[in-house]
Structure 1
Amino acid sequence: METISRKSFLQQCLRAGALVSLSPAVVNAWYTRSTDDEFYQKIVLANNQDVAKLLKSLAPEITEVRRRSGYELANLVAAFCEPTSAYYQKEELVPYMTKIISFLVKAQHADGTLDFGNLASPPDTAFILEPLCAAGTILKTNNTASLNEVKALLKEFIFKAGEALRLGGVHTPNHRWVVSAALAKINSLFPNPAYVKRINEWLSEGVYCDKDGNYLERSMNYSAVIDRSLITIGRLLKMPSLFEPVRKNLRLVYYHSEPNGELVTVDSRRQDQYAPINILYFYHDFYYLAIQDNNPEFAAITKYIETLNGFDSRVLNDLLVYFLEDPLYKKPLPTPKAPSVNFEKFFPETNLVRIRRSDITTTIFGGTDFPIIIASGRSNSPNFFAYRKGEAILKYMRFSTDFFSTGYFHSQGITKSGNAYVLHQKIEAPYYQPLPAKFKRPDGNYKHAQSTDGRFWNKMDFEHRPQSNINTLETIIRVEEKNGSNELTFSSKGTDGVHVVIEFCFKEGGNLTGLKKLDTLSDSYTLESGQGEYSFGNNAIKFGPGIFKHAKLTGLEGELYSSHFGSLRTEGMHVFFTGITPFEHKITIG
């Protein structure tokens, strides 16, 4: 990664609002951060606070299996075994430990699986085993007599679950590595060649990571799962080669990170393509490899994550378990060296561009999975552009037409021309002639098939019909960074008279000036000419010139989504520019 000074990185993060409530100790930590007593005391205190809440929440009967149950038991065990904890060897914790593990043993099927997430699910059972095995590891060296029942029940549960994972199947790519990581943890507690054999069977399929650093699902949500799993397998089975795809993925994660820690997920093939997650989920992975590889940039990112909103409640409260399970966590981080916050990266595998200039970021997306299919495992987001300037956030831009109800523009890739990135889509919509005689059926019962343009299905045997009256629409969007702003040039032509809509969606809660509010749609505005401005906090985004040639603003999803009664409209402040083909318009955003 290209580097700048640590001080500059810190200052830029501060301007971006990424670092909150910074004390001098935290600022200095960029230069001297180690796993020192002060930070460890903070981890222990967070565990104490979590345990105090658990003692109240666990008072009623446990009625359902939750993934969190594993961490609840592990946090109680960590508190009991940590000498500096306020709950060190406090017998009051033991009944709660017993309560959790007793419930899980009762909920376990004869084959070792649990019902949560999915029914009788090996992979979901594997997820809960990560913290349960950590608890088992911490308890290995604790000989307190009162813990004997907890240890015996934990062993019973883990043994049965181990058989479920050794023999059971999976649904998705990441499940293979989750199951393998759980088996590696079980094997470290109760060595069994059969566990290792099963892990090697899964690994023999290959861990795919493309040259950009994407795993098969291209999902930040599941990348965090895979990274954690591969580190676990590599650590416990002495397979350091498994760390390499994690390194590649973590570099990708950094480039996909916004100044406030949110991650770009528009290119995902899973549910997070419409629900961004936070870099907080990768904390353990950056932390582990920063120490393992003596990587100063990963150390800086680790420290950056510690400053983000949500770190205390979503990461810190479970950290004591990891520090007690694996001694590596107690080693000092290398001296941080800040990664660049001034870069332009083109990821050709997903047709994604990320541009960052301190607290200003641009995302351009020109890739998707064709044909467009609405299903998990498919990338189908129509968001082709996003822009952030500090707290002012343009969540996305979309382009839609009423051309034969084809709906949103989905670029057929992305190319770079000079300093500009070019998005392109060409659609052909034919009419169909009578079937040739050799394909005609007297009963009229023809093959149920998709139309050749992919818009709909019917029993018309489309592939054998001659076509005529073919209509074409070709759309080109050029995006070029100029003088700190982005210039977007739109061209849509072919069939005349097609209604065109450019949709902006700004983060809700901001202020729009210079625009006209629409009565027909909630939180919707137009800009007929001139410049508009969106502001949030101390930051503002200017955009324009506006154009508004028609008010046809419904049905933007097209037939593909609307036939499933779906809508892609999200929360936010929506601004619409409209035109009619042949359409040419240039917009500056900055």
Structure 2
Amino acid sequence: MNRKTFIKQLSVVGCAVPFLQNSPFLKHASEDDFYKKVVEANAKELARLTLALSQPIKQLRRSLGFDLANLSAGYVEPTSRYFRQPEVLGMMEKIMSFLEKEQKPDGTLDFGNLSSPPDTAFIIDPLCAAARIIKNEPSLQSIFGQLQRFIQKACGQLTVGGVHTPNHRWVVSAALAKANSLFPNPAYVNRMNEWLSEVVFQDKDGVYLERSVTYAEVVNRSLIFMAHYGGKTQLLEKVKKNLTWLYYCMEPNGDMVTVQSRRQDAFMLRLITEFYVHYRYMAIQQNDPLFGAMVQFIETMPNFQETVEKDLLYYMLENPLLKKTPTNGSLPLVYEKKFDGISLLRKRKNSESLYLFAGADWPIQVASGRSTNPNFFAYRKGQAILKHIRLSTSFFSTGYFRGKGIEKTAKGYRIGQTIEAPYYQPLPNKYKKADGDYQLSQSTDGRFWNKMDFEHRPVSNVQTLKTEIVYEEKDQKQLLHLIVNGPEGVRVVVELCFHEQGELARCVPSSANPTDHFLPEGYGQFKAGNDTITFGPGVKKHESIRGLEGELYSTHFGTLRTNGRYVFLTSICPFQHTLEIY
């Protein structure tokens, strides 16, 4: 399955996952029964591949490696209806012939990125799995030989080639560890050790550099492979810390909090199902009851068979440890956790959960690798989902509020931001140029660029906007005390975005766009299934709700608008308002 298809399916299943509420203690199915389900899931996947591979392979994609691993597993598993079936052999030969044709002389492949060592490393993982599975199968020795040549040629480049991102270092290292366990080569070990000498960063809460759920999966998988196949067992402690943090980033239905990410998933839906194999491995390897409970919970999710179970046979045949039954355990359903390194607060009480976020990277710049998400609050109550709250003002087109850290208060938490927007005086004489051609530079407040040599200009008429948001829970209500102080007349907009699956009540549709709503007064409601979120009181002092992103985005005709049902509270500076959510 390609990435776009997987993401599309996640958006469909995200709200349909059963909630884990009053039964935190989970118990596993018997080992034999579960393995039978795994074999059957693989057979269904092979039936799909039989149809798909009846046509010519037209495009190089990473999934071909997983297809080969799944075909290998079905072919060698005695209880499978595809055991040693000639059509499976034919499909394996077809994939290997295509991969050999696509492999470049230096051993790399083109996966969007051209001649990419790290992207090539991604496919080496399942190809090594396939090689390990068929290594002792007499009828597959020709394909094993093809795999060996392909893997060794690719790894020749992985021992010298470069990377782009933090996680690429560990993907390449993991591929070399797996290849070395099959085809020993000191160069593979040396390169892995060289990358590891840079150290896998992790903050005290277990968060990796990219702060991403998507790439946490990549890093955890890579560290597990290096531990299991490369002897780097000390890396498992990092995996354990990260998987624990990920649990507290999981919503009751299995959706993941991604607001803190420095990568593209900051605005995407991700599911805990992606971490199933990690939790299973660590639950068994370390006899961890929390991870064992996570394994059982993920198995209840409606997309489990389609996105996870179909690949499990090859994982289990590659690493028989995964066949064992994880220990039973329970999941904490009531907690309050503050993650200081990323300024993220997580709270949960059974089917209710929320986050408060103030951990964007400053200065705000639109670039992969920087955290810029303006969502500062989100709340869930069963199936009713308030996806995010944002706050924006008309103050010099600076756009959305983004807090700078979370401060604990006597009753709750405080986040805030102060923005200064100056005007610029003439340059001192010593910086003036005869031709008037001054340095192209960024304004001192970071809002724009011009050939004005801003660095050397005195400033004056400095305007200031101070925003403070204080969160507390009182009488089973979530309270947000919103305070915006700045020049009189600055417009303020509080943006609430609810999930597409649900209905708004007591709100007034905008005349400009029926998907936008105002709450002039009183309390609005959002209903989904049997659950209702009530919010208010409302306020409406203007209808200026466009261009909320600010000049940084509007200059490039960009938007941060997401799917959902929008409600806006609007006012004017100075602004003080307490928003109740329950």
The match for 1:30 among 21, 26, 29 is 26
Residues 382 and 531 in structure 2, CA contact (< 8 A), matched pair in contact too: yes
User: C-alpha displacement at 1:176, in angstroms?
Assistant: 0.6
**Partner residue, 1:331:** 324
Distance in 1 separating the partners of 2:501 and 2:344: 28
Aligned partner of 1:197: which letter? N
**Partner residue, 2:499:** 507
Distance in 2 separating the partners of 1:286 and 1:359: 22
State yes or no: 1:315 paired with 2:315.
Answer: no
State yes or no: 1:573 paired with 2:569.
Answer: no
User: C-alpha displacement at 1:290, in angstroms?
Assistant: 0.3
Distance in 2 separating the partners of 1:287 and 1:257: 17
Aligned partner of 1:506: which letter? F
**Partner residue, 1:66:** 61
TM-score of the superposed pair, with normalisation by structure 1: 0.94
Query: What is the correspondence of 1:56-455 to structure 2 with a 5 Å cutoff?
Result: 56-144=51-139, 147-334=140-327, 336-455=328-447
State yes or no: 1:45 paired with 2:40.
Answer: yes
User: C-alpha displacement at 1:238, in angstroms?
Assistant: 1.8
User: C-alpha displacement at 1:484, in angstroms?
Assistant: 2.1
Distance in 2 separating the partners of 1:148 and 1:407: 61
Distance in 1 separating the partners of 2:182 and 2:495: 55
User: C-alpha displacement at 1:339, in angstroms?
Assistant: 2.1
Over 3 Å counting, the alpha-carbon distance change for 1:510 and 1:167 in structure 2 is same
Aligned partner of 1:508: which letter? E
Provide, for residues 69-96 of structure 1, a one-character-per-residue CA deviation record: whole Å limited to 9, x for no partner: 0011111110010011001111221111
Residues 256 and 271 in structure 2, CA contact (< 8 A), matched pair in contact too: yes
- Of residues 341-350 and 485-494 in structure 1, the stretch that sits farther from structure 2 once superposed is 485-494
Distance in 2 separating the partners of 1:522 and 1:71: 45
User: C-alpha displacement at 1:28, in angstroms?
Assistant: 12
Provide, for residues 381-432 of structure 1, a one-character-per-residue CA deviation record: whole Å limited to 9, x for no partner: 1000000001100000000000011111011211111122111111111111
Over 3 Å counting, the alpha-carbon distance change for 1:539 and 1:505 in structure 2 is same
User: C-alpha displacement at 1:309, in angstroms?
Assistant: 2.0
User: C-alpha displacement at 1:522, in angstroms?
Assistant: 4.1
Residues 31 and 324 in structure 2, CA contact (< 8 A), matched pair in contact too: no
Distance in 1 separating the partners of 2:318 and 2:90: 22
User: C-alpha displacement at 1:332, in angstroms?
Assistant: 2.2
Distance in 1 separating the partners of 2:30 and 2:226: 24
Aligned partner of 2:571: which letter? G
Aligned partner of 2:103: which letter? Q
Residues 404 and 415 in structure 2, CA contact (< 8 A), matched pair in contact too: yes
State yes or no: 1:479 paired with 2:475.
Answer: no
Distance in 2 separating the partners of 1:438 and 1:239: 60
Provide, for residues 439-482 of structure 1, a one-character-per-residue CA deviation record: whole Å limited to 9, x for no partner: 11111111111111110000111121111111111010111112
Over 3 Å counting, the alpha-carbon distance change for 1:133 and 1:29 in structure 2 is farther
Over 3 Å counting, the alpha-carbon distance change for 1:29 and 1:343 in structure 2 is closer
Distance in 2 separating the partners of 1:481 and 1:176: 43
User: C-alpha displacement at 1:331, in angstroms?
Assistant: 2.0
Gaps of 5+ in 1: 1-15, 22-26
User: C-alpha displacement at 1:240, in angstroms?
Assistant: 1.2
Provide, for residues 174-231 of structure 1, a one-character-per-residue CA deviation record: whole Å limited to 9, x for no partner: 0011011111111111011110011000000101111011111010000000001000
Residues 24 and 333 in structure 2, CA contact (< 8 A), matched pair in contact too: no
Distance in 2 separating the partners of 1:554 and 1:61: 48
State yes or no: 1:464 paired with 2:463.
Answer: no
User: C-alpha displacement at 1:582, in angstroms?
Assistant: 0.7
TM-score of the superposed pair, with normalisation by structure 2: 0.95
Aligned partner of 1:129: which letter? I
Distance in 2 separating the partners of 1:412 and 1:329: 43
Provide, for residues 22-54 of structure 1, a one-character-per-residue CA deviation record: whole Å limited to 9, x for no partner: xxxxx99923x2661111000000000110111
**Partner residue, 1:13:** none
Distance in 1 separating the partners of 2:477 and 2:467: 22
Distance in 2 separating the partners of 1:20 and 1:517: 32
Distance in 2 separating the partners of 1:55 and 1:156: 26
User: C-alpha displacement at 1:117, in angstroms?
Assistant: 3.0
Residues 289 and 329 in structure 2, CA contact (< 8 A), matched pair in contact too: yes
Over 3 Å counting, the alpha-carbon distance change for 1:344 and 1:29 in structure 2 is closer
Distance in 1 separating the partners of 2:538 and 2:372: 28
- Secondary structure of 2:26's match? helix
Aligned partner of 1:19: which letter? P
- Secondary structure of 2:329's match? coil
**Partner residue, 2:3:** none
- Secondary structure of 2:99's match? helix
Provide, for residues 101-147 of structure 1, a one-character-per-residue CA deviation record: whole Å limited to 9, x for no partner: 01001100000000113111111111111111001001112122xx2
Aligned partner of 2:481: which letter? T
Provide, for residues 149-191 of structure 1, a one-character-per-residue CA deviation record: whole Å limited to 9, x for no partner: 2122111111111112111111000001101111111111101
**Partner residue, 2:578:** 586
Distance in 1 separating the partners of 2:163 and 2:514: 43
Provide, for residues 236-278 of structure 1, a one-character-per-residue CA deviation record: whole Å limited to 9, x for no partner: 1222101011011001100000011111010000000010211
